[in-house]
A = this chain, B = another copy of it.
Amino acid sequence: MMKTNPGRFFEDFRLGETIRHATPRTVTTGDVALYTALYGPRFAVQSSDAFASAFGYARAPLDDLLVFHVVFGKTVPDISLNAVANLGYAEGRFLRPVYPGETLNTVSEVIGLKESSNRQTGVVYVRSTGTDAAGQAVLSYCRWVLVRKRDPEAVIVAEAVPTLAKAVAPEELAAALPPLDAAAYDLGLAGSPHRLGDYAVGERIDHVDGMTVEEAEHQIATRLFQNTAKVHFDGFAAKDTRFGKRLIYGGHVISLARALSFNGLGNAFSIAGINAGRHVAPLFAGDTVYAWSEVLAVAELPGRDDVGALRLRTVATKNQPCAAYPDKAGEGYDPAVILDLDYWALMPR
């Protein structure tokens, strides 16, 4: 009997099935230190137990994206080992803070299947849920990936394209955080004087700084998340691909852009929802990442007078600073753009 995991092909997925993923993972302050070292985030809530507990947390919670990557990594061997491309994200909700010492698991439900017209591939839609050791959800999101068929002739029994929300509603964000004391949030220590009310819809912010990515860095990060996608690690096999080199995990770009966004969004301390996300172009080692953001909406959260939500669109580029806000262009994007992420960040009011 074959002992290695060949991964699922498109025809192996069944609409409505639930997939429990390996490997359970206890996240620790060791993971937090590595996350800091890999991306350089400076949001005070995640950086300081003292700051976080004065504000109302039990202690410094994990960076939301560290939670996301750990939860995501578990899905790779079951969902995307034979994927051609990661197409998008939607309906991402961070349901409560995760603290060092907690154990994370992931389950996914297949919520959509759509064969490609050439019958070589198909799109798999899953809703993945990260849970704690007790099985309570801490994160939920949908993603869809283009997956190869093992056999183009295989017949797909049931197909469906799910209807996904264009955006997470602000009222769904309110439970993401414990009750907080906005007066105890020290703007000086946090490094930015701007509260929620200082941001205006339509405002654009160039995050200015750039970060060059090395092979060792993205490999260390991707292994930390126990993400096993071969394209990120096997430089020998990569020589025969269309790119000729290793691809950087798309989540690495998201974390870099988020860390860069501190310069301009220093009090947007928590990601509570992911409305939409697209990896527009691949990133490779040696490239330098820049980012800019646009404020799409400013929202109050029902029942909360401590924090409100900024709907942000953060665009990341490679090898092009963002003073000119490189963006969509014609049918596609400016060729420098690599990421277009639409999300909700929470901020003290």
**What is A's interface to B at a CB cutoff of 8 Å?**
1, 3-5, 20-26, 28-34, 36-40, 42-44, 47-51, 60, 77, 101, 103, 105, 133, 188-192, 194, 198-199, 203, 205-212, 214-217, 219-224, 226, 228, 230, 233-237, 246, 263-266, 286, 288, 319, 321
Known: A4-B208, A286-B235. A103 touches B49 (CB 8 A): yes
- The CA of A48 and the CA of B208, in the complex, are separated in Å by 39
- The CA of A133 and the CA of B52, in the complex, are separated in Å by 12
Closest approach, in angstroms, between the C-beta of A115 and any C-beta of chain B? Answer: 27
- Residues of A contacting B: mostly: mixed
B26 adjacent to A28 (CB under 8 Å)? no
Q: Which residues of B contact A101 (CB under 8 A)?
A: 49
Known: A37-B34, A37-B223. A60 touches B26 (CB 8 A): yes
Closest residue of chain B to A19, judged by CB?
A: B188
Known: A23-B42, A25-B48, A28-B29. A288 touches B36 (CB 8 A): no
B233 adjacent to A210 (CB under 8 Å)? yes
B25 adjacent to A264 (CB under 8 Å)? no
B190 adjacent to A22 (CB under 8 Å)? yes
Known: A30-B32, A47-B24, A235-B288. A39 touches B223 (CB 8 A): yes
Identify A220's interface contact among B43, B60, B217, CB under 8 A. Answer: B217
Q: Which residues of B contact A38 (CB under 8 A)?
A: 220, 223
Identify A210's interface contact among B103, B208, B236, CB under 8 A. Answer: B236
Known: A28-B33, A30-B32, A288-B234. A23 touches B189 (CB 8 A): yes
16 CB-based A-B contacts, threshold 8 Å:
A3-B199, A22-B42, A23-B191, A24-B47, A26-B47, A31-B33, A33-B34, A33-B224, A37-B220, A37-B221, A37-B223, A42-B226, A209-B233, A210-B236, A214-B219, A217-B220
Closest residue of chain B to A22, judged by CB?
A: B191
